[in-house]
Amino acid sequence: MQLAAPARLSQQLGALQRTVTAAQRRGVSAARRGGLQICASINPNAERALMGEDFGARDPTAGELGSNFGDKVLGNYNTEHIIKPPDAMGEIVGLKNKKCVACEGGIEALPESEINRLQKQCAGWRLGKNAAGHDCISHEWKVRNFRAGLDLFQRIAVIAEEEGHHPDLHLTGYNTVVAEMTTHAAKGLTENDFIMAAKINEIEMSDLLPKRKPKFWA
């Protein structure tokens, strides 16, 4: 990105300030976002007119996703923000502290409202359908190499054996691990699946993930 010359930049900042001042005189209130002063009014188009159409983050287009540009940048390739709940929340919600219960016969799949509630407590797990067409949740990790993928399998297996509830595990492209949770007896999702997801999220796996190269911006 080519920066404007100091004189031109000064002119642009002056023009922006005059726009803000004029807006204030028309009764538009001024607000600050960080170090940037903007206008806010009952007119929803005021900020758009001042700042442009693409103010802030946006989701990538289909073409951008197809280019695999996410492999070349730091962070997530999309803007779907997955927020990890505070650690103290675990003491209230307690999914990771619960134990899976036996589900042989008579168990019913959770309704959609309960699925949505529990999914919010399992950061990074996506709702979808498995090969049989049943509801499932899945998580994907990029690991350093093939051996790291097998190591992650083993760490997940330890928890699965302790809980008696097992995910479907897949290793594709030599370094992509996918864990898929569903309750086969219920032909859908039960609380057991979310308990396992919460416990898997607690696994220490930083040593298995690829190291990020530092980025330097001019």
Residues of the chain with pLDDT under 50: 1, 33-34, 39-42, 55, 74, 77, 79, 81
Of 33, 186, 165, 8, the residue nearest 101 (C-alpha): 165
* Domain assignments of the chain as residue spans, ordered by start: 6-53, 89-201
89-201 belongs to which CATH class? Answer: alpha beta
d(C-alpha 103, C-alpha 186), whole Å: 8
d(C-alpha 129, C-alpha 119), whole Å: 14
Do 201 and 96 form a contact (C-beta atoms < 8 A)? yes
The residue with tokens 């134990």 is 99
Convert the pLDDT of each residue in 116-164 to its tens digit: 999 999 999 999 999 999 999 999 999 999 999 999 999 999 999 999 9
Q: What is the reported pLDDT for 65?
A: 66
